[in-house]
Structure 1
Amino acid sequence: MNSLVYAAADADQMDVAPWVWYLTIGLMAAVLLFDVFIIARRPHVPSTKEVSVALAAYVGAAVLFGLGVWWFTKDAHGAKFMTEYYAGWLTEYSLSIDNLFIFLLIMARFAVPEKLQQSALLIGIIIAIVLRGIFIAVGAAAINNFAWVFYIFGAFLIYTAVKLAKEGEGDDDEYEENRFMKFVEKRFPATKEYDGAKLFTKVDGKKLATPMFIVIMALGTTDLLFALDSIPAIFGLTKDPYLVLTANLFALMGLRQLYFLIGGLLKRLVYLSLGLAVLLAFIGVKLVLHAMHENELPFINGGEHIEWAPDIPISVSLGAIVLILGVTTVASLLKTRKDDKAATPSA
């Protein structure tokens, strides 16, 4: 087999050479380290041109990667794996956009100076990547050994969708700290003033945390909570851990630029929570149907597969994701435009 990446016999996962894993993780780490080096040397508020070029590069790389997946597996279910990757990437990206609203609230809550926001976001994203990597490894091991875990993933996503839809009916503009953050603030006494991008500083000979440390912990743990939704969601679209990891990496890599580029637009996506709720509910139902189709639990249908339960094709899933996100965006913009006209006094 000459391909660097090729399909396994059951066509559910690719057989990726170990060095390809190492190369992928190494390249991503190099990009992040380059970002850290540049931003650490020159903290600043990025221009629209700067973030637009960087975001276009990340999105372009993500698209090209999907084509690369097809190229190296084209003789063995290449189109299927490419579609799974794109579906996963779009889902993770859309869920990451919801994260941005919380990030904005965190920045406002801790009054982060604009020139330090890039540093806070970057370090928070690095923490999120590490934590998601652990989640992905655990999730991959679970689905490979216990098919019934899809029942749990599906039920959790449906529950989350209902909860998200209800929350979307309100207008919550305040950041509510989780228990871990309350523990951190009590355990690490912090100064009131920022000391550049430093996480710790000395005051009267005593080492104290800076507000930057608290902000980074808030960003990292908040993304971890979102990962509880997004990781089960993407495993509902692909069982391949390599595709799950790369889709997450590409979604998170451009998140910092997206934060600065569409901060104002987030306020206009009034139906975002509702759209994401529909998206999670769809994937949740897909997971439950898949679990039924592959059922091995003895107390359900006598441990036999439920043949009438359809296994939704990935092409249908990708189409549904694009449709849901498209309708959500268009409906949101039409609603805000209508509201703006209604609020403008007639001459």
Structure 2
Amino acid sequence: MDVSPTLWVLTIVGLAALIAVDFLIGRKPHEVSVKEAGIWTAVWIALAGLFGLGLFLHAGGRPAGEFFAGFITEKSLSVDNLFVFVLIMAKFAVPTKYQQRVLLIGVLIALVLRAVFIAAGAAIIASFSWVFYLFGAFLVWTAWKLVQEARAEEHDEEYEENRLLRAAERRFGVADRYHGTSLWIRENGKRVMTPMLVVMLAIGTTDVLFALDSIPAIFGLTQDPYIVFTANAFALMGLRQLYFLIGGLLKRLVHLSYGLSVILGFIGVKLVLHALHESGVHVPEISIPVSLGVICAVLVVTTVTSLMASRKQAGREEVQEGSRRTPEDHVDV
């Protein structure tokens, strides 16, 4: 897809305008209701759909298909990010009314960092075609690791700060409490960070770790930097509302890791086949419609089986709770 510098500028300006509107709407600290989160989640998904439709009308079916496949993949992978975001919020005891501000700035930081990753990935792919083998092998390895962790039920219940965050805290110091939405305050004559800034940095920098598998995954669906960037942007910008919408449902998605492992493994195989094809080996390549169908089918099956398993587990817990009650618990007063 041939993208002119003008289109790049217009796209970035348009995305910046959407972010500005989102910021102005949520500038006043408040607790986000499920209704508000649901409405804005639908708005962001609709905007992504309109953008994909625009690609279809002006560039054809292939770019549009690549965008939707990339958007759905990035969106599903971002749901896994929400588990860590919940831990970060708990770690720093973020007041409920400030959480939406934290997520807005944190996701903005993540978007900027991902743009750097995407630019680097596009440059590497343009110069070294063998990198597809590396990306494919990495995705297959990541898929296997996800399966192993899911089978072992290894879920960290506490967030550990990364080195960059610890270095910033040592360098500038951190206030002992929140000061509204302020990011910096003066304490004993010294300018120090507030916990608000620390948690924003935690959200933004932690996303970089997730980008290590999500960026290669989307490059497995399209090598167009414009589509890679816009798919990531639309997936990330609706993440804040998605956090409040399905925050209480995250623990019920017990099969999410299995679904994500299937998607990453599938894209890894697709990348290897593409690399072999580019090297002159006659192997079948997986088309975008097939990729989109597989991704959607895996997510639907994963969601359905997760909810069924969670319901059965809840039923077993109720039965066990009932069996532990003593006869005195049932005596009528």
TM-score, normalising length: structure 1: 0.89
Find the aligned partners of 2:3 and 2:72 in 1 and give their Cα distance: 22
Residue 171 (str. 1) matches residue 146 (str. 2) = no
CA–CA distance in 1 between the matches of 2:149 and 2:201? 24
Distance 2:176 2:71 in 1: 39
Instruction: Deviation per CA, 1:127-180: give whole Å up to 9, x if none.
Output: 111111111111111212211110111111112112222222323222122222
> Which residue among 281, 287, 297 is the counterpart of 1:306?
281
Could you tell me whether the CA contact under 8 Å between 2:105 and 2:200 is conserved in 1? yes
The letter for the 2-side match of 1:283 is: I
The structure that is helix-richer by fraction is 2
Match of 2:5 among 18, 30, 42: 18
Deviation at 1:185, TM superposition (A): 2.6
* More displaced stretch, 82-91 vs 136-145: 136-145
- Report matched runs for 1:105-184 at 5 Å: 105-168=87-150, 169-184=153-168
Structure 2 residue 291 is the aligned partner of structure 1 residue 317: yes
1:261-320 per-residue CA deviation (whole Å, 9 max, x = no partner) reads 10011110011112111111111111111111112xxxxxxxxx211x221111111111
Partner of 2:68: 86
User: What is the SS of the residue equivalent to 2:182?
Assistant: coil
> For 1:224-277, what per-residue CA distance to the aligned partner results, in whole angstroms no more than 9, with x for missing partners?
111111111000001111111110111011100000010011110011112111
Q: CA deviation at 1:105?
A: 0.4
Q: Who is 1:329 aligned against?
A: 303
**Offset at 1:126?**
0.7
1:4 maps to none
- Taking the aligned partners of 2:244 and 2:172, their CA distance within structure 1 comes to 29
Which residue, out of 248, 257, 260, partners 1:273?
Answer: 257
Matched residue, 1:52? 38
Distance, in Å, in 1 between the alignment partners of 2:39 and 2:278 is 45
Using the TM superposition, give the Cα deviation of residue 44 of structure 1 relative to its aligned residue in structure 2, in angstroms. Answer: 0.8
Deviations 1:15-35 (A, max 9, x none): 123222111110111121233
Deviation at residue 52 of structure 1 after TM alignment: 1.4
Q: Does 1:64 align with 2:46?
A: no
- 1:181, CA displacement in angstroms? 2.4
- More divergent stretch after superposition (193-202 vs 137-146): 137-146
> Matched residues in 2 for 1:96 and 1:198: separation?
27
C-alpha separation between the residues in 2 aligned to 1:94 and 1:147? 27
Rounded to whole Å, the distance in 2 between the matches of 1:325 and 1:125 is: 23
Q: Match for 2:197 among 195, 213, 217?
A: 213
Counterpart position of 1:30: 17
Q: Deviations over 1:35-67 (max 9, x none)?
A: 333433x11111222221111111011111111
Residue 252 of structure 2 aligns to a residue whose secondary structure is coil
After TM superposition, the runs of 4+ consecutive aligned structure 1 residues lying more than 4 A away are: none
Match of 1:255 in 2: 239
Q: 2: CA distance between counterparts of 1:61 and 1:213?
A: 29
Question: Over the residues paired in the alignment, what is the CA RMSD in angstroms?
Answer: 1.4
How far residue 186 of structure 1 moved from its aligned partner, in angstroms, is 2.3
The one-letter amino acid paired with 1:141 is A
Aligned to 1:284: 268
Q: Which runs of 5+ in 1 are unaligned?
A: 1-13, 296-304
Matched, 1:245 2:232: no
- Between the aligned partners of 2:26 and 2:300, the Cα distance in structure 1 is 34
Secondary structure, counterpart of 2:192 in structure 1:
strand
